[in-house]
Structure 1
């Protein structure tokens, strides 16, 4: 009886991406697009980092015996990352 139409028919193709890019350039200006892309990438990286930390905490809650070994490896990774920056 009732049919629902999908909100998105699929991934946008070449013409759709060109229109989106044109609108972005008109809204933000050509000079601000790289800065916007960079800040979006940094935000995505922070989000993924937070998600991984949350998943580790959930895993630790599920299996507290394994948490000690994972926590020490995470601390070692954090030390290495902070030294590289």
Structure 2
């Protein structure tokens, strides 16, 4: 893993067509901008993991789409966490 130190406004270039820009630094968090070709998928790790976990849970529980969707929304902080059904 390459570890870099950047200041606000500085950029990181990946290949010929991906640019990461540090937009803002506040305390222990930063805002970054990603400029990449339309065909390059850019995803937040926690969202991808939540979707994967919701899909696995839905396939294992045998419950419908609505329950999996509610658990995914709860994981992303969009809804309160639904109660876990008793086995």
TM-score by length of 1: 0.36
Identify the structure with bigger relative contact order (alpha carbons < 8 Å, sequence gap 6+).
Answer: 2
Q: Which has the higher helix share?
A: 1
Q: Specify the structure having the higher radius of gyration (Cα).
A: 1
TM-score normalised by structure 2 residue count:
0.35
Q: More strand per residue: 1 or 2?
A: 2
